[in-house]
Chains A and B, each alone.
Chain A
Amino acid sequence: MMSRNRGGRRMGEDSVYTPYPATITWLREETPEITTFRVALEEGEAANSFAFKPGNFVLISVFGHGEAPFAIASPPSHGGIIEISVRRLGRLTQALHELSVGDRIGLRGPYGNDFFRHELKGKNLVFVAGGIGMAPIRSLLAYVLDDRKGYGEVTIVFGARTVADIPYKEEFTRWGKRSGVKVVLTVDPGGETSDWTGRVGYVPNILSELNLSPHNGVAFVCGPQIVIRLSAQILSGWGFSERNIISTLENRMKCGIGKCGRCNIGHIYVCKHGPVFTYEEIKKMPVSDY
């Protein structure tokens, strides 16, 4: 009843579920739990036509272990380099963490919408992230900083549980040196070390001290649900409109293309309608579904 096609995607009728073969070309252990992988599609049509925007996600396969969605963490402005930052958490991410440079994986996508819900050119941008929530933000942030003159003031507030849990350490330092960029790093109380020079406190608390102007501003908030909710309330209290507070939601997914069912929040499918939503949209969603 079945036919087999070696090599994949050679049927004259692409199966959207068939991953493109890809190779890990570089990796960096960011923290004990998070590793960033650079993934190159193998030569061919897929590699030539793959185009993404900050906010999109991909499904990564480790053959024999499964498939899971990850936000693309690199900007499209770096020659199409695809990076994902993976927190070791379940079966697939564990398997991914055991791989090395040169190992083959599968990749399909990009899927979902992107951060450009409104025109961002010329805007003052605020980025708020907690933990692995920094991954999709990094894509947009690096993209913006590659066109520094195209945007206004940039403020970054990032928090991790402990100093050891901060990913992209060198990048934060580099970003902080750019003109018009302010980086505020914080760790949860108890997560600081003796030589820690950043802040201590939860992300929403640290954010609340900054008293940012909503003028011409758009804010991006990614991280645990509680960070999104509290940060959005603070931003909105300063006068940021709910349309201009933008976040990503990350429900469990299998297919990534609106068919397998599980990522729904009410009638919204995170994979198809999102994963990027404005706070105005998020507020209308049933809280108990995400």
Chain B
Amino acid sequence: MAKKVIDDECLNQFVSSLMERGYTVVAPRKEGRRIVYGEVETGADFLREYRNPQNSPKNLLFPRREEMLSFTDDGEVIEVVPDEAKTVLLGVRPCDAMAVTHLDTIFNWDYGDVYYNRRRRNTILIGLACNTPDPTCFCTSLGNGLGPHQKEKVDMMLTKLEEGSYLVEAVSKAGEELLSLITCGVQGKPSHDAKALELKERAEKMITKRLDVDKTFKVLDENFDSDYWKDVARKCIGCGICTYLCPTCYCFDIQDEGTSRFRFWDSCQFSLYAKHATGHNPRDQRFKRYRNRVYHKFVYFKKNFDAILCVGCGRCKIYCPMKVDIFKIVSEAEVNVVNLGRGEASE
């Protein structure tokens, strides 16, 4: 695949040419004190050095609230679907790109979700390799080739080689077409590849948190009833922020309001989430809801789709008001289920 090396100015020009071609460009940008994925007006708005944005690509592909249908008084149904606006999602970290792959899976599990798929097929992902992972990161343990420089899940990859110098690589056909829009810069040389490789290895070494996901799967699967889950969930206040900021949490609710039907994000951390109309609530206690989230990530999704539904981005811990640490919880599960007992059935 084609490669180029460009400077900041050339990158800005590239963003401008995307906009000229009608793409909406969404990239990490400053919004007050926060860094979020948002629409940029110029290439200069695109932050190239950042901790992961607070929100994730999920917000773009699967908005927090969207109208699905409206209806008239006489029962006529009017479909509301996203239009085919073309978007480039620029500066996506490999963890967030992997999260999109997981969303692709769930929104196409036998039934295609038109709302998601329309946005998805009109979205091109341009990745930005992660040279300085955070101490909270643990992407390299989560399988499917995930790592700070993983390229497979994006259309085009940017690697910052040094200040003002980026290696640009096309990964998919769509990426190759975009690369042809870059008229500035120089052709990539083997020395650039060597530098990128060095940065990749350095970034991978910086990630010191390790998790054996196969072992974790087994330990969790065999210890659903352990008192450990009561113990770890004790400080959770059930606010659901972990699920809102998680790039892979996708649960939603569907509700009618007035003459429209909406879907909006829901959270398995909320007590009404699984409550039956009869009043019976299968996950009536907070520890059951917290356990459900952990198991969905590390056991259930693996059973159904052979992948871990966590990309190690660390958002859930960083933004948790109680600093509940999913990495610590799953990585220490093996030791603690023994200490706290494998548990009687905890209904």
- Using a CB–CB cutoff of 8 Å, the interface residues on chain A facing chain B are 1-11, 13-19, 21, 61, 63-68, 89-90, 93, 103-106, 225, 250-252, 254-255, 257-267, 269, 272, 286-290
Q: Contacts of A264 on B, CB cut-off 8 Å?
A: 292, 296, 300
Given contacts A4-B78, A4-B79, A15-B114, contact A261 B255 (CB under 8 A): no
CA distance A265 to B303 in the complex (A): 13
Q: Is the CB of A259 within 8 A of B107?
A: yes
Q: Do residues B69 and A6 form an inter-chain contact, with CB atoms below 8 A?
A: no
Cβ contact within 8 Å between A260 and B253 = yes
Contact A90 B277, CB 8 Å, known A264-B296, A288-B288: yes
The chain B residue with its CB closest to the CB of A255 is B254
Contact partners of A7 in chain B: CB under 8 A: 76-78
Tell whether, in the assembled complex, residue A66 and residue B109 are in contact, meaning their CB atoms are under 8 Å apart: no
Bound: A289/B259 CA distance, A: 34
Summed over the interface, the residue pairs from A and B with CB atoms below 8 Å come to a total of: 170
Nearest first, the 3 closest Cβ-Cβ pairs linking A and B are A104-B75, A261-B251, A267-B300
Q: How far is the CB of A10 from chain B (nearest CB, A)?
A: 8
Of B77, B82, B83, B345, the residue contacting A19 (CB under 8 A) is B77
A sample of 10 cross-chain residue pairs with beta-carbon separation below 8 angstroms, ordered by A number, consists of A2-B67, A3-B82, A7-B77, A17-B113, A66-B254, A89-B277, A262-B266, A265-B282, A272-B110, A289-B283
Q: Are A63 and B345 in contact (CB under 8 A)?
A: no
CB <8 Å contact, A2 and B283: no
Report B216 CB to chain A, min CB distance, Å: 15
Q: Is the CB of B252 within 8 A of A2?
A: no
CB distance from B304 to the nearest CB of A (A): 6
B341 within 8 A of A: no
On whether A15 and B81 interact (CB within 8 A), knowing A261-B266, A272-B110, the answer reads yes
Q: Is the C-beta of B23 less than 8 angstroms from some C-beta in chain A?
A: no
Given contacts A89-B278, A105-B75, contact A4 B70 (CB under 8 A): yes
Q: Is B142 positioned at the interface, with any CB of A under 8 Å from its CB?
A: no
Evaluate whether A3 and B74 lie within 8 angstroms (CB atoms) in the complex, with A15-B114, A262-B268 already known: no
Contact of A21 among B76, B252, B273, B288 (CB under 8 A): B76
Residue of B nearest to A264 (CB): B300
CB distance from B290 to the nearest CB of A (A): 13
* CB of A1, distance to nearest CB on chain B (Å): 6
- Cross-chain contact B304 with A267 (CB below 8 angstroms): yes
CA distance A68 to B261 in the complex (A): 13
Nearest A residue to B296, CB-CB: A264
The distance from the CB of A160 to the nearest CB of chain B, in whole angstroms, is 15
**Contacts A2-B83, A262-B273 given; does A254 touch B253 at CB 8 Å:** yes
Distance, CA A113 to CA B275, complexed state (A): 23
Write the nearest CB–CB distance from A45 to chain B, whole angstroms.
15
* Min CB–CB distance A92 → chain B (angstroms): 8
Whether the Cβ atoms of B109 and A272 lie closer than 8 Å is yes
Partner pick for A1 among B74, B85, B106, B295, CB 8 A cutoff: B85
Do A3 and B81 form a contact, CB below 8 Å, given A251-B276, A257-B110? yes
Contact between B106 and A14 (Cβ–Cβ < 8 Å)? no
> Taking A4-B79, A16-B111, A252-B274 as contacts, is the C-beta distance between A289 and B282 under 8 angstroms?
yes
Bound form: Cα–Cα A104–B75 in Å: 6
Report B-chain residues with C-beta under 8 Å of the C-beta of A104: 74-75
Provide the bound-state CA to CA distance between A267 and B298, in Å.
11
Q: Are A1 and B109 in contact, with the CB atoms below 8 A?
A: no
Interface residue? B346 (CB, 8 A): yes
CB of B282 within 8 A of CB of A288, answer yes
**Residues of chain A contacted by B273 (CB below 8 angstroms):** 252, 262
Partner of A259, one of B250, B277, B278, B346: B250
Q: In residues 230-279 of chain B, which contact A (Cβ within 8 Å)?
A: 250-256, 258-259, 261, 263, 266, 268, 273-278
In the complex, the answer to whether B82 meets A251 with C-beta atoms within 8 Å is no
Mark out the residues of chain B between 286 and 309 whose CB falls within 8 Å of any chain A CB in the assembled complex: 288, 292, 295-296, 299-301, 303-304
Q: Is B50 at the interface (CB under 8 A from chain A)?
A: no
Q: Which residue of B lies closest to A288 (CB)?
A: B347
